[in-house]
Amino acid sequence: MTKLIGLIDMDHNHNKGTNIYGTPYFYPNLALMKISAYYKKKGYKVEWYTPIKKYYNDYHKIFVSKVFTRKTPMDSYLTKDMIIGGTGYDLSTKLPDKIEHIYPDYDLYGIDYAMGFITRGCIRSCDFCIVQNKEGMIHKHADFEEFWNDQKHIRFLDNNFLSYKNHIDELKKIIDINKRIDFYHGLDIRLINNVNASLLRKIQLWSGKRYTFAFDDIKSKLVIEKKLKILNDNGIKNSEINFFVLIGFNSTLKEDLIRINLLRDNKIRVYVMPYNKTIQHQEQYQKDLLKWVNYKPFYWKMDFETFLKKKKRIIKKEKKDTMLNKFLK
């Protein structure tokens, strides 16, 4: 009889297409796709876990993976005989090389694009980030041909691709295959120079995607202004750029506004990323910043001060809860 492997993606509600909190969500778990590929190749049947099959002892092995650290109600279902891993549980568990470097089973999530890492690690160790702790210094991980088989779209998951010493050669290879590319975790703007900017200009991004960078620390202000100019000089317009701005870690509201307004004045799209993702733990000013910036009609039309006044007026005027009223509160 064919042996059965059960998989659990702790971040994902497969039936509803949402994360476990009900937010529309789709972040295929790469480790599970590799485990699936490995066992299918060995002749096993691989499927999403169901408790009833565990009850009848049908599973040869059950693998559990979790990328995000927040608790989920499903955590309590874990049993000792399950094999668990992922950043959501600990930073040290690694797949054996024979699984880590296999071509992923994209059918597990039904995706028609390729995804994976050319590099792992990072040259920096920002206080709010686990990448260096988990993956070490930047190093080559794989040729992209390991996880790409002529799909039209490739999603690179590298955490600091530009810090890899041979990134220029990798960029040239990416340009040569002429596919649509997404650097999902963004690029480090501090490492932009004329050579890599001119190559980045030549890659084709996924439709609707932008060159994404981060402005996490006010101390990078001068560098970012300088690097934006290099991007512009090489033909990358501000309308093609996107920035993540971290708030609520060690910055003040004043510093947050300097960072956001610098980008806004340059007509650059921003997404505010609160360090603490749980709404109950965010201070009111962080919730307000998030609503002003991430809800684009407000961000483009008015500054933060005007937004706060408008919010007050709307909440006062609309006695009963409308959608907008609820959103602003």
Measured in Å, how far apart are the chain's first and last C-alpha atoms? 58
Helix (H) or strand (E) holding 65: strand 59-65
| Among residues 40, 54, 61, 124, the one that binds ligand SF4 under rule CB under 6 A | 124
Nearer to ligand SF4, 46 or 241 (CB): 241
Nearer to ligand SF4, 170 or 188 (CB): 188
Q: Applying CB under 6 A, does 125 fall inside the site for ligand SF4?
A: yes
CA separation for the pair 111, 90 (Å, rounded): 27
What's the closest the beta carbon of residue 186 comes to ligand SF4, in angstroms?
Answer: 8
What's the closest the beta carbon of residue 294 comes to ligand SF4, in angstroms?
Answer: 20
Strand partners, 4: 45, 59
Q: Enumerate residues 134-193 that contact ligand SF4 by CB under 6 A.
A: 159-160, 188
Token pair in block for residue 156: 């690179």
The CA dihedral of 121, 123, 129, 132, to the nearest 10 degrees, is 40
What's the closest the beta carbon of residue 161 comes to ligand SF4, in angstroms?
Answer: 10
Q: Applying CB under 6 A, does 129 fall inside the site for ligand SF4?
A: yes
Nearer to ligand SF4, 13 or 87 (CB): 87
What's the closest the beta carbon of residue 275 comes to ligand SF4, in angstroms?
Answer: 12
What's the closest the beta carbon of residue 260 comes to ligand SF4, in angstroms?
Answer: 18
Nearer to ligand SF4, 117 or 304 (CB): 117
Token pair in block for residue 250: 């060690």
* Pair 133, 173: CB distance under 8 Å: no
CA separation for the pair 9, 20 (Å, rounded): 10
CA separation for the pair 251, 218 (Å, rounded): 8
Strand, helix or coil for residue 237: coil
Q: Which among 93-101, 108-116, 123-131, 278-286 is the span making contact with ligand SF4, rule CB under 6 A?
A: 123-131
CA separation for the pair 196, 161 (Å, rounded): 11
Q: Applying CB under 6 A, does 122 fall inside the site for ligand SF4?
A: yes
Name the site residues for ligand SF4 (rule: CB under 6 A): 122, 124-126, 129, 131-132, 159-160, 188
